[in-house]
Chain A
């Protein structure tokens, strides 16, 4: 079912909306949550919580890309759960993915407008070749593993790693030019 039709089901307050969303995006949402939490139980809870949040968000919202809209909710929910688990010292493989982003930041704990920063990141990615952009977002938005990305794009894992590394360094330079204190 097309996204617009599913969104209309939400507007019509039809329970089919949740079922159709789960059918279309349940897999990718679990994948994103698993990439952060590495726990099937925690990932399932995140996805369920995200679907409830989606029900409450539409209406009044009418997202054009439902997958991206829902994925963002799942992603943030998974990160919040990760922070909670970290406080409880429950381990996951997520730190490895976060550590890669050390190339881009200095680590100072200061307030930053995430929405504006997101726009700056998008502007940088928009100027990159499509494959480089997709590899970057599959790793850091969809939380795919290096091997999964390697399989999807038919690259070697080392090629994926070096592509990500170049993109991170380019992003760092771009954010510095945009005035961010990294």
Chain B
């Protein structure tokens, strides 16, 4: 075997492994250069009130990078220079990183938009599907975002991940924090206590092109600074402190007050262990109760419906019956998906929040029949009376197809 053959064969590695290993895009940091100023006046606006603030020029220095050209010095993955006009998803903003020359960070006052947290059980909170990982804060960077005439303060913690409880598996992640940790009134809950060296379990939300702050025509996208962010700081953190483990006992009522970080990790693992699709066992049992032997195999997605696909093969006294079952996390999601299927069962129509949509057509080899049972959508393509009878007995009448 030659080296070239082995290199080509590595190219045939499993797609899941390749996707897992994909290098995450490096974030560019456009800079605005500041001249050291004796003082400048900055207006900070919040949802509630506006306060003037004086910025001490000795306490904060905005860092230049590289050449005195004002050009961004971020790089493309291939090493070529890259000078973006603006951050990736954000619009009409400027982002500057703040370093301190000697002393501590300057005092800021930022009033977050206070909101009432909806009460949630631990199960409901976890159903949001966020990644969960344990790690240690390696460093924290501080930023000010100029957006629509106001300044927002934010920070990014780089965390070395020591273990994943749910999610991607990277060795290091970046977390966007509201305000600057340690500053008065700047952050919610336990996030304010994060420092370099803090060890915690994090349950952040994933930053995407659609997560950010909009002010007028300007948009600051969290994903331009970090891979994750925190919509609030009370529930999504278990923080190891000198006084023991700090967490929200109202949400995480299943965890005792004297628990350790290891206990919290075990607790969260037990809450998030994957189980087989909920209704599939019930459907299988019901079909077996009708006298069939049922064999299930996993299928690749077909793009017609979004649920996790299984093929059920029924054998019994009649001809073999083949069913396609689409499995969803909840009955509500299955119901929403069923609404997208056209009455004749030959197309699905989805509409997205931005007003676009897709229509997917299917060419069935015979008459399609769609049934819904809890969190499942069951598809039978054919006209065998025995199949239609058993499906109506188990699932009720079909909601689409049959023509």
The chain A residues found within 8 Å of chain B, CB to CB, are 4-5, 7-8, 11-12, 27-28, 30-31, 34, 40, 43, 62-65, 67-69, 71-72, 75-76, 79, 83, 97-99, 101-102, 104-110, 112, 114-115, 117-119, 121-122, 125-126, 130-131, 133-134, 137-138, 140-142, 144, 148, 152-154, 180-182
Contacts and interface: CB of A to CB of B under 8 A. Distances in A.
A27 B75 CA distance: 11
B275 interface: no
Contact of B18 (A8, A27, A68): A68
Given A8-B360, A64-B301, A137-B13, A148 B1 contact: no
Given A28-B77, A101-B7, A153-B171, A69 B21 contact: no
B352 to A, nearest CB: 8
B49 interface: no
A11 B4 CA distance: 34
B78 A31 contact: yes
Given A40-B78, A105-B2, 14 more contacts: A8-B358, A40-B80, A64-B15, A65-B16, A98-B7, A105-B5, A109-B2, A112-B9, A114-B8, A118-B10, A121-B13, A134-B170, A141-B18, A182-B1
B10 A121 contact: yes
Nearest to B302: A62
B127 interface: no
Main secondary structure of the interface of A (DSSP, over half): helix
Contact of A114 (B12, B20, B76, B169): B12
Contact of B9 (A4, A117, A137): A117
B365 interface: no
Contacts of B6: 101, 104-105, 117
Interface in B41-82: 76-80
A131 B17 CA distance: 11
Nearest to A135: B21
A28 B19 CA distance: 12
Contact of A134 (B77, B79, B169): B169
A7 B304 CA distance: 12
B12 A101 contact: no
B76 A106 contact: no
Contacts of A153: 171-172
Contacts of B24: 152
B363 interface: no
B160 interface: yes
12 contacts: A4-B306, A40-B78, A65-B18, A79-B11, A98-B4, A98-B7, A117-B5, A121-B13, A125-B17, A137-B13, A138-B21, A153-B172
A167 B17 CA distance: 15
Interface in B199-223: none
B13 A108 contact: no
B3 interface: yes
A93 to B, nearest CB: 12
Contacts of A154: 138, 160, 171-172
